[in-house]
Amino acid sequence: MPVAAAVALWHRAHLYKALACVVLALIALQYLLSGVLDRRSIETIFTINTTRYADHAYRSHPHGLIIYGLGVSPTYPPSTLNITSTAQLTVPALRDINNATKQDVNATRIAPVSSPNTTDPSIPQLCPLIPPNLVGPLTVNKNPPEVLKMEKELTGVETGGRGWPSHCTPRHRVAIIIPFRDRPQHLQTLLYNLHPMLLRQQISYQIFIVEQEGTGLFNRAMLMNVGYVEALKEQKFDCFIFHDVDLLPEDDRNLYTCPEQPRHMSVAIDKFKYRLPYTDLFGGVSAMSREQFRLVNGFSNVFWGWGGEDDDMANRIKSQNLHISRYPANIARYKMLLHKREKANPRRYEVLKTGKNRFPTDGLTDLKYQLIEKKKPKLYTWLLVRLTPPQPS
């Protein structure tokens, strides 16, 4: 064989070897990365994009969900859940993150829960990341039965408006805070629609109705501060949902849990033609973790009468370098019950403008109230409170 041909053959053989090495390296890299992505996807709490579920077909395909968004997923000691132990959950990787929001980059991880015997079927495991019994769009019922009949129908609800899954350990402890006065029919309608949805979401929850005593100007924000404080006397909730009594959820995939960032829940309301009125809106239904609410010093106490307190909270959130997160509008849908408009606060814009100066001193830090009465009927925990206006500093 000529020398030139032998040299060419030698170079060709080494080129093939080099290409084979590159291919093997790429395969190994893909294998390693797929393992990382699987672990990350298992740890990500979901927000579901409903574009795949425009019709009823999604009910037959519970695993065809698109995953994006995140949530805080605490674990609880067995003593707080009336169980003996918990077991680590194993679920298939959720790979479809094409619609991931920028929140996902810093998604909160789920702390593993250990068990001395994970093969014991009597030990409740963590509830699935995706609640299996969600139905999606809901038929809102604006004509609830009488209270006694409601109590009989809602068999999964315990005294004080508490609920939790019976066959798994809930990942979230949630307090639902509802500021209230003079709307018993609205409250009855909300409870009738809300309880079944929360039970399907497999969270541990308790509904608190915080009623303002007297006939003076209503202070919705201050009542929510009271609800936060009083709820923590019951147990150490991780998440707080602040909920107007006249808003009925239309989709149970709108999870009543807390994400990494404060969440505005009532994105699309029928009264506003299911459109968000403005970007910084935080009113209606909103979710904050215990730490976030403490960080922003709660709601302001100085908004007497209708309006302003939610915009002030949005400013508080931004002042702490947090941002408002939202589910898609085709999930975060609500119907609003008709009611007479509350008397507006004529000074709300003035108070809102000067709010930044009061953030550290106006809120949980100067909250004063008197708990007049507390009762626990089956469907809720009722708090009657007398509010004390904060004194000028």
Which pLDDT tens digit goes with each residue over 102-125? 333 233 223 333 333 345 666 789
Tell me the three state secondary structure of residue 32. Answer: helix
CA distance 155 to 169: 19
Given the residues 39, 95, 339, 386, select the one marked as catalytic.
339
Helix (H), strand (E) at residue 207: strand 204-212
pLDDT of residue 325 exceeding 80, the answer is yes
CA 367 to chain centre: 25
Per domain, the residue ranges of the chain are 47-51+62-85+124-387
Indicate if 310 belongs to the active site. yes
Indicate if 151 belongs to the active site. no
Q: Which amino acid, one-letter code, is at 265?
A: M
Give the rounded percent of residues in the chain with a pLDDT score beyond 70: 69
Indicate if 309 belongs to the active site. yes
Confidence class of residue 93 from pLDDT cuts 50, 70 and 90? very low
Indicate if 251 belongs to the active site. no
Mean pLDDT of 83-93: 29
Given the residues 309, 311, 362, 366, select the one marked as catalytic.
309
Residue among 240, 139, 236, 271 at smallest CA distance from 196:
139
CA distance 227 to 374: 12
Q: Which of 13-27, 119-133, 289-303, 330-344 has the highest mean pLDDT?
A: 289-303
CA distance 284 to 314: 13
Mean pLDDT of 39-62: 35
Given the residues 244, 251, 260, 311, select the one marked as catalytic.
244
**Rama region for 137: left / alpha / beta (φ>0; ψ in -120 to 50; rest):** beta
Residue whose token pair is 């004063």: 368
Given the residues 260, 310, 312, 366, select the one marked as catalytic.
310
Indicate if 336 belongs to the active site. yes
| Strand ranges inside 227-380, DSSP E | 239-243, 247-249, 263-264, 268-269, 285-289, 325-326, 333-336, 369-375
259 or 127: which carries more pLDDT confidence? Answer: 127
Given the residues 109, 150, 234, 306, select the one marked as catalytic.
306
pLDDT for res 10: 60
Indicate if 171 belongs to the active site. no
Cβ 254 vs Cβ 233: under 8 Å: no
Indicate if 238 belongs to the active site. no
**Helices 309-319 + 220-234 axis angle, to 10:** 60
Q: Can you spell out the DSSP letters for 279-304? A: TT---SEEEEEHHHHHHTTSS-S---
Indicate if 244 belongs to the active site. yes
pLDDT of residue 76 exceeding 70, the answer is no
Given the residues 43, 150, 280, 336, select the one marked as catalytic.
336
CA dihedral 12, 14, 18, 20 (to 10 degrees): 80
Helices (H) and strands (E) in the chain, counts: 7, 14
pLDDT for res 307: 86
Fold designation for 47-51+62-85+124-387: Spore Coat Polysaccharide Biosynthesis Protein SpsA; Chain A (3.90.550)
pLDDT of residue 349 exceeding 50, the answer is yes
Coarse DSSP helix, strand, coil percentages of the chain, rounded to the nearest 5 percent: 35, 20, 50
Confidence class of residue 8 from pLDDT cuts 50, 70 and 90? low
Q: Of the ranges 8-12, 150-154, 175-179, 314-318, which one carries the lowest mean pLDDT score?
A: 8-12
Helix (H), strand (E) at residue 179: strand 173-180
pLDDT for res 196: 97
Residue 133 has φ and ψ, to the nearest 5°, of -105, 15
CA distance 248 to 141: 9
Q: Which residues contact 84 (CB under 8 A, 6 or more apart)?
A: 78, 123
143 or 26: which carries more pLDDT confidence? Answer: 143
Q: Of the ranges 52-56, 198-202, 233-237, which one carries the lowest mean pLDDT score?
A: 52-56
pLDDT for res 119: 53
1 or 117: which carries more pLDDT confidence? Answer: 1
- Both tokens of 269, joined, read 């309301």
Confidence class of residue 344 from pLDDT cuts 50, 70 and 90? confident
Given the residues 238, 246, 250, 366, select the one marked as catalytic.
246
CA 372 to chain centre: 30
Confidence class of residue 213 from pLDDT cuts 50, 70 and 90? very high
Helix (H), strand (E) at residue 12: helix 3-42
Residue 280: exposure state from Cβ atoms within 10 A (0-12, 13-18, ≥19): middle
pLDDT for res 352: 87
Residue whose token pair is 């980059």: 105
Residue among 103, 108, 258 at smallest CA distance from 177:
258
- Both tokens of 247, joined, read 């808003």
Q: Which amino acid, one-letter code, is at 382?
A: W
End-to-end CA distance of the chain: 101
